[in-house]
Amino acid sequence: MKIYVNFELPEEARRLLEGFEVVGPGGDLSEVEAALVTRLTPEELAKMPRLRFIQVALAGLDHLPWEHIPPNVVVAGNAGSNADAVAEFALGMLLAAYKKIVQYNERMKRGEYDRVYAVPMLRGRKVAVLGLGEIGTRVAKILAALGAEVWGFSRSRREGPWRFTTSLEEALRGASAAVCALPLNKHTRGLIRYEHLALMAEDAVFVNVGRAEVVDREGALRILKERPRFVFASDVWWGRNNFAKDAEFFALPNVVATPWVAGGYGSEEVWREMAVEAVKNLLAWARGETPKNIAKRSDYV
Amino acid sequence: MKIYVNFELPEEARRLLEGFEVVGPGGDLSEVEAALVTRLTPEELAKMPRLRFIQVALAGLDHLPWEHIPPNVVVAGNAGSNADAVAEFALGMLLAAYKKIVQYNERMKRGEYDRVYAVPMLRGRKVAVLGLGEIGTRVAKILAALGAEVWGFSRSRREGPWRFTTSLEEALRGASAAVCALPLNKHTRGLIRYEHLALMAEDAVFVNVGRAEVVDREGALRILKERPRFVFASDVWWGRNNFAKDAEFFALPNVVATPWVAGGYGSEEVWREMAVEAVKNLLAWARGETPKNIAKRSDYV
C-alpha cells in the first residue's frame, strides 16, 4: 500500500511505517491509498484518485478543504495526542488570570506595589468546562480536585466529576470561570456570543485553548470593554497566525494573550507523541480495524 | 476566662466566643489567660502575667517576639486555614511561569508575536515540593494528578503520591520545577542557597509561597543572573511589605513577582475561615483538649 506523507516524521514514527511504500511531495501519488498529513490542499487531493483514508497529525480538522474531499474518503484526526499539553496550559492560563498573578506581576515590574486586587478562591466556585473531549475532561478533573464546582458542557452526555449540561446558558450562568476546549466545526462556529459571556460573574475569567472562531469576536470585545474586571485569556486568535489582526485585544488590560502555543509548541516530546499516535491510527486502519477520531463529515460540510 | 483579642474578628468567629470575657487593646489584661492575635508585641505580653496560651490567627509564627514569650506559654499557629488559597496560587505561579504564559503575554502586549519559547510538558518531569505541610501536600497531590514526578522534601516522613526525601539536594537535583512551602524558623532560615538552586535544570522554575528568608537572597540573585532561562517566581520578598527593597529582582526578565497576596489577599471568605479556625482551636484548648498547630519553641528560640 502506498502512503502519502507530506511532512517530516520524527524517527520513532517513521520506523513504524517500515514495510509500507511512503511517497513524499513531488512523488507519483496516482496509486496512493492513504495520506498522513498536517495540512492538505485541493491540488494534493486531485493527484490521489485512489485515496481512501486521510490521517491528520494535528488535533483540529477545521482547516481541511472539506469541499474537495470525496465523501467516500474516511478522515481521522489526532485529538488527544497533545491533550495533556493543552490541559496543563489551560489550567495555567486560568489560574494565572483568576489568581491575579499576571496582573500583579505586570504591576510589580512597573514598580507599583500596592495591593489593588483581591485574590479569590477557585475552590467552591462554579467553573464551566466547554467541550468534554480529551482536553476538557482532563481540565475538568483537575478543577474538581481543586474543589471547584465544575459544570461540563457538551453535545453528548459524558460522565465525570462535573454536572453535565447540554445548555451553554446553564453552564455559564453565574460561573466564575470557564475553559473552552470545543472543536471548531459548523455547529460551534460563533457559538459563544456576547449574551453568553454576559451570564458569567462580573469578574469572571474566560479561557480559550480551542479555536478562536468558536467565540464571536465582536461579542468578546464588547464584554471586555463593558466589564473591566472580566478577563479574556486566550491562546487562539481570529487572525490565526496573523496576530497583528487582533492587536486591539492585546491592547486591553483585561486580556491575557499567548500566540497559539498551548499544544506544546516547540516541544519535541509532544510532537513525537503526536506523530506516533497518528501513525498508529493509520496502521489500525490499514489492518482493517476502526481507527480512532473519525471525523463526521456532516460537522464540516 | 478572659481572652485578649487584638484584631477585629469577623461576625461568625465572634459568635463562637460568646460566654467568654473578651478584652481588647486598651482593656485590663492582668487577668487574661489566653490571647487570640495576628501580631503581638513585647509590650502587650508584659501586660499579661497570667497568660498561658497564645493562638495566632495567621499561618506563620516567625514574626512573634519569641524571646519575650515565657517558656510555659503554649503557642498555636493557624497553618492550613488558608492552605487551599495558597496551594491554588502556587500552582498558578508554577504553571504560569513553566508554560511561558507570563512571558508570552508580556511579549504579545508589546506587539512581539514570534514564538521564541518552547512550551515544555510538566507531565513526566521531576518537580520538588519543599515542605509537606498543609500547603505542600495539596500542591504535591495536584502535581501528581498532572503526571509530574513529584519529590517531597520535609524534615519528617510524610506519605503521599511523591518520593519522599529528607535531602534537599536529592529533591532538587535535575528538577524542572520546585514549589517552596516551608515555614520560616531557625532550621529553615537561609536553607536554600545558590548551590541548591544550581542543581536544578537549566530552565527550571522555582516558586516560593512560604517566606522569602528561607531562600538566600544573594544566591537567588546569582542564579538568575547566571542562568537567563531559570525562572524565580515568588509571592514573598526579603523586604517583607517594603517591596522597593527587592526592586532589583523585579527588574530581571526571569522573575515573576506578586506582592505577598497568595493567602487569599482581600478575600473575605478566606479571612472568615482563618478566624473561625483560630477561634475553634482556642476553644479546644479552653476545653482542655490538645489544640492543633502547637509551635515547637525550639524551632524559633
Element (H, E) at A25: none
Residue B76 has pLDDT above 90, yes or no: yes
Beta carbons within 10 angstroms of residue A90's beta carbon? 29
Q: Are residues B189 and B212 both part of a single domain?
A: yes
ipTM of the complex: 0.92
The domain that holds B56 is classified in CATH as: 3.40.50.720
Among the partner residues B93, B105, B243, nearest to A113 by beta-carbon distance: B243
Domain presence at residue B228: yes
From the list B39, B291, B66, B260, the residue with the least C-alpha distance to A115 is B260
The number of distinct structural domains making up chain B is: 2
Q: Are residues A131 and A277 both part of a single domain?
A: no
Q: What is the pLDDT of residues A168-181, one digit of tens each?
A: 999 999 999 999 99
Domain presence at residue A262: no
Q: Are residues A163 and A271 both part of a single domain?
A: no
Q: CA–CA distance from B17 to each of A176, B2, B10, B14 (Å)?
A: 34, 11, 11, 5
Domain presence at residue B20: yes
Q: Are residues B241 and B140 both part of a single domain?
A: yes
Q: Are residues A31 and A105 both part of a single domain?
A: no
- When scoring B81, B89, B91, B99 by the number of chain A Cβ atoms within 10 A, the one with the most, hence best to mutate, is B99
Angle at B58 between CA B55 and CA B61, to 5 degrees: 75
What are the residues whose beta carbons fall under 8 Å from the beta carbon of A291, sequence distance 6 or more? A53, A55, A74, A76, A281, A282, A284, A285
* CB contact at 8 A, A181 and A153: no
Q: Residue B121's pLDDT band (boundaries 50, 70, 90)? A: very high
B267 to chain A, any CB pair closer than 8 A? The answer is yes
Q: Are residues A236 and A131 both part of a single domain?
A: yes
Cell representation of residue B74: 503554649
What's the pLDDT score for residue B2?
Answer: 96
A91 CB neighbours in chain B (<8 A) are 91, 95, 146
Q: Are residues B18 and B157 both part of a single domain?
A: no
Q: Are residues A153 and A272 both part of a single domain?
A: no
Q: Which residues of chain A have pLDDT under 70?
A: none
Q: Are residues B91 and B106 both part of a single domain?
A: yes
Domain presence at residue B262: no
Element (H, E) at A260: none
Q: What span, in angstroms and rounded, lies between the C-alpha atoms of A176 and A206?
A: 9
What are the residues whose beta carbons fall under 8 Å from the beta carbon of B218, sequence distance 6 or more? B194
Domain presence at residue B131: yes
Q: What are φ and ψ of residue B264, in 5° steps?
A: 80, 40
Q: Are residues A192 and A108 both part of a single domain?
A: yes
A141 to chain B, any CB pair closer than 8 A? The answer is yes
Task: Tell me whether residue A263 is exposed, middle or buried, using C-beta atoms within 10 angstroms of its C-beta: 0 to 12, 13 to 18, 19 or more.
Answer: buried
Residue B59 has pLDDT above 90, yes or no: no
B84 to chain A, any CB pair closer than 8 A? The answer is yes
Across residues B246-267, what is the average pLDDT? 96
Range of the domain at A143: 83-257
B116 to chain A, any CB pair closer than 8 A? The answer is no
Q: Are residues A167 and A96 both part of a single domain?
A: yes
Q: Are residues B252 and B120 both part of a single domain?
A: yes
B107 CB neighbours in chain A (<8 A) are 259
Q: CA–CA distance from B70 to each of B46, B74, B78, B157, B301 (Å)?
A: 10, 9, 20, 31, 11
Domain presence at residue B174: yes
Residue B80 has pLDDT above 90, yes or no: no
Q: Residue B296's pLDDT band (boundaries 50, 70, 90)? A: very high
Q: What is the pLDDT of residues B172-199, one digit of tens each?
A: 999 999 999 999 999 999 999 999 999 9
